[in-house]
């Protein structure tokens, strides 16, 4: 099957001023698109030619994994944000966060730390562990928590391309601003879906 670049779920400038339109445009239109294109070039003739994106992420290695996981991770990243996002989660999600991290502020601090301290390219994540507890993790390059059996709920892209035009070396400032874009309804829906599985 041919993989497609999902449409950005909002306008390129929808996350301003936290994430600028030029960054979003290049990030989605060039970086994300390139991962899709590379994946489609690598697929033919492999055991993954007819696999879903998630199956590839779970089973592949090397360049096929790298490109497939980057396609998946970026789509997940875009869908975790929205214009006028941020604020605090509610209901079951908030309860789950408070149970696992003592309180929302503590969780924010821990996920920020994971994102800021990931050395080199990578991602910070909120995940649901097998035992039902929420946790924050960091992964390098394209790595995705699903391969460790965790269910991703929210991610922050900390490849330098995600923030360099606006924030340069100040990754911590980008992560602080990123919180203002979170689509908590999307995160809550992910938790819900995971619990039904």
Partner 1 sequence: MNTPDMNERVTRRNLLRNLGLGVAAFTARPLNRVMAAAGEPLHQPPTEFTLPPLPYADNALEPHLDARTMEIHYGKHHQAYVNSLNAALKGHANLLSKPIEQLLKNLNDVPEKLRTPVRNFGGGHYNHVFYWNCMKANGGGEPAGDLAKAIKKKFGSVIAFKQLFSATATRHFGSGWGWLVKNRKGDLAVVSTPNQDCPLSHGQIPLLTVDVWEHAYYLHYQNRRSDFVAAWWNVVNWDAVAAEFGRQ
Instruction: Tell me the C-alpha distance between 182 and 156, whole Å.
Output: 10
**Which residues, 27 to 56, sit near partner 1 by CB under 8 A?**
30-31, 34
**Which residues, 95 to 134, sit near partner 1 by CB under 8 A?**
119-122
Q: Pick from 42, 135, 142, 151: which binds partner 1 (CB under 8 A)?
A: 142
Residue 40's alpha-carbon distances to 45, 69, 116, 174, in angstroms, are: 11, 13, 32, 31
Residue among 21 and 26 whose Cβ is closer to partner 1: 26
**Which residues, 68 to 97, sit near partner 1 by CB under 8 A?**
none
Residue among 77 and 159 whose Cβ is closer to partner 1: 159
Instruction: Tell me the C-alpha distance between 110 and 119, whole Å.
Output: 16
Residue among 130 and 169 whose Cβ is closer to partner 1: 169
Q: How many Cβ atoms from other residues are within 10 Å of residue 109's Cβ?
A: 13
Shortest distance, position 81 Cβ to partner 1, whole Å: 20
Select from Fe ion, partner 1, none the partner in contact with residue 120, using the beta carbon and a kind-dependent cut-off of 5 to 8 Å: partner 1
Select from partner 1, Fe ion, none the partner in contact with residue 119, using the beta carbon and a kind-dependent cut-off of 5 to 8 Å: partner 1
List the alpha helices (DSSP H) in the chain: 21-26, 33-42, 53-59, 62-79, 91-101, 104-117, 164-167, 171-178, 184-196
Residue among 79 and 157 whose Cβ is closer to Fe ion: 157
Residue among 18 and 166 whose Cβ is closer to partner 1: 166
Instruction: Tell me the C-alpha distance between 187 and 194, whole Å.
Output: 11
Q: What tokens were used for 133? A: 């507890």
**Count of chain residues binding Fe ion (CB under 5 A):** 3
**Which residues, 134 to 173, sit near Fe ion by CB under 5 A?**
157, 159, 162
57 phi and psi angles, rounded to 5 deg: -60, -40
Instruction: Tell me the C-alpha distance between 73 and 140, whole Å.
Output: 12
**Binding residues for partner 1 (CB under 8 A):** 26, 30-31, 34, 63, 66, 119-122, 140-142, 159-161, 164-165, 168-169
């Amino acid at each position: 099957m041919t993989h497609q670049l999902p449409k950005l779920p909002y306008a390129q400038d929808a996350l301003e001023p936290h994430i600028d339109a030029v960054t979003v445009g290049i990030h989605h239109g060039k970086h994300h698109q390139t991962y899709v294109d590379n994946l489609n070039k690598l697929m033919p003739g492999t055991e993954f030619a007819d696999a879903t994106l998630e199956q590839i992420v779970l089973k592949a290695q090397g360049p096929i994994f790298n490109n497939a996981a980057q396609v998946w991770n970026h789509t997940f990243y875009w869908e975790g944000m929205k214009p006028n996002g941020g604020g605090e989660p509610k209901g079951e999600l908030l309860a789950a966060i408070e149970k696992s991290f003592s309180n929302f502020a503590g969780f924010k601090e821990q996920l920020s730390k994971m994102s800021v301290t990931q050395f080199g390219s990578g991602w910070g994540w909120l995940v649901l562990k097998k035992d039902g507890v929420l946790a924050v993790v960091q992964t390098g390059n394209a790595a995705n928590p699903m391969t460790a059996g965790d269910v991703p709920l929210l991610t922050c892209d900390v490849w330098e391309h995600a923030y360099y035009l606006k924030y340069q070396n100040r990754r911590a400032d980008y992560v602080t601003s990123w919180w203002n874009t979170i689509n908590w309804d999307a995160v809550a829906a992910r938790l819900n879906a995971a619990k039904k599985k």
